[in-house]
Amino acid sequence: MRHGKHKHILGVKTAHRSALMANLCSSLLEHGRIKTTLAKAKALRPFAEKIITLAKKAKNSENPAQALHYRRLAIARVRNKAVIKILFDEKVEEFLNREGGYTRIYKLGARRGDAAETAIIELIDGDDEGYQKKKSSKKKAKKAEPKKEEAKEEASEKAAEEPEAEKEAEEVAEVAESTEK
C-alpha cells in the first residue's frame, strides 16, 4: 500500500523535479520572494523550510563537524554554494526564534497565457507574528456572563436617564419654536 506517500509530482520526472526545486529554492533564498505557479509554490514550501531548518540546526550545533554536515546536506539539495553560504552565515539569524512557517504564499490569480494559477512565495521576516490564534470558546462563554449583567445595569441606567433626556429635548424644541416666532 502507498498510504502517506504523496509528493508534489508536478508532472515531471524525478530528476527534473529535484532540479526544479533546487533552482526555485535557490531563487527564493537569494531574492526573498519569487513569482511562480501555485502548484510549484506549494511544492517549494516544504523543500525550502527543510533547508532553513538545516541552517538552524547548524547554527545551534556545538560540534563543528555536525554543522559542516548540515551545510553539505543543504548544498547537496540546493546545488548553489553561494546561496547556502548566505543562508547559513547571515539569514539564519532571522529564523532562530521561529518554530517553522518560514514562508508565505499569496495567490495572484490566473496567468494570462495559459490560465495557470500563479502565486508569490516569500520568506517571512523573523519578527513577523502572523495571524493570532483564536482563544477557546469556553473562556468566552465564562466572560460573556458578567458582560450580560453589566449590559443590563447599563440599560437600566440609560432608561433612568431617558425621561430626563426627553424633557431636555422638549425644552430645546420649545425654545427653538419661540425664537422662530
Q: What is the pLDDT of residues 101-118, one digit of tens each?
A: 999 999 999 999 999 999
Residue 8: closest CA among 35, 47, 34: 47
Q: Is residue 31 very low, low, confident or very high in pLDDT (cuts 50, 70, 90)?
A: very high
Residue 79: closest CA among 57, 45, 102, 47: 47
**What is the average pLDDT across 139-165?**
59
More confident residue, 68 or 166: 68
Distance (Å) of CA 19 to CA 54, 64, 70, 135? 19, 29, 20, 43
Could you give the CA distance from residue 128 to residue 94 in angstroms, rounded to a whole number? 10
pTM, rounded to two decimals: 0.71
Q: Specify the range with the lowest mean pLDDT, choosing from 24-28, 112-116, 131-135, 138-142.
A: 138-142
Show the domain range for 115: 14-123
Please check whether residue 77 is in contact with residue 20, taking contact to mean a CB–CB distance below 8 angstroms. Answer: no
More confident residue, 141 or 89: 89
Domain tally, the chain:
2
Q: Specify the range with the lowest mean pLDDT, choosing from 6-10, 18-22, 59-63, 107-111.
A: 6-10
Residues 112 and 38 in one domain: yes
Domain assignment present for residue 1? The answer is: no
Domain assignment present for residue 6? The answer is: no
pLDDT tens digits, 57-110: 999 999 999 999 999 999 999 999 999 999 999 999 999 999 999 999 999 999
Please check whether residue 103 is in contact with residue 48, taking contact to mean a CB–CB distance below 8 angstroms. Answer: yes
Domain assignment present for residue 129? The answer is: no
Name the domain boundary from 123, 142, 157.
123
Name the domain boundary from 123, 153, 173.
123
Domain assignment present for residue 9? The answer is: no
Name the domain boundary from 87, 103, 123.
123
Task: Write phi, then psi, for 125 (nearest 5 degrees).
Answer: -65, 150
pLDDT at residue 129 in the model: 79
Domain assignment present for residue 60? The answer is: yes
Residues 108 and 177 in one domain: no
pLDDT at residue 5 in the model: 85
pLDDT at residue 104 in the model: 97
Residues 74 and 110 in one domain: yes
**CA atoms in the 13 A half-sphere facing the CB of 88:** 24
Q: Is residue 130 very low, low, confident or very high in pLDDT (cuts 50, 70, 90)?
A: confident
What CATH number is associated with residue 75? 3.90.1030.10
pLDDT at residue 9 in the model: 92
- Average model confidence (pLDDT) across the chain: 86
Residues 43 and 97 in one domain: yes
Residues 141 and 54 in one domain: no
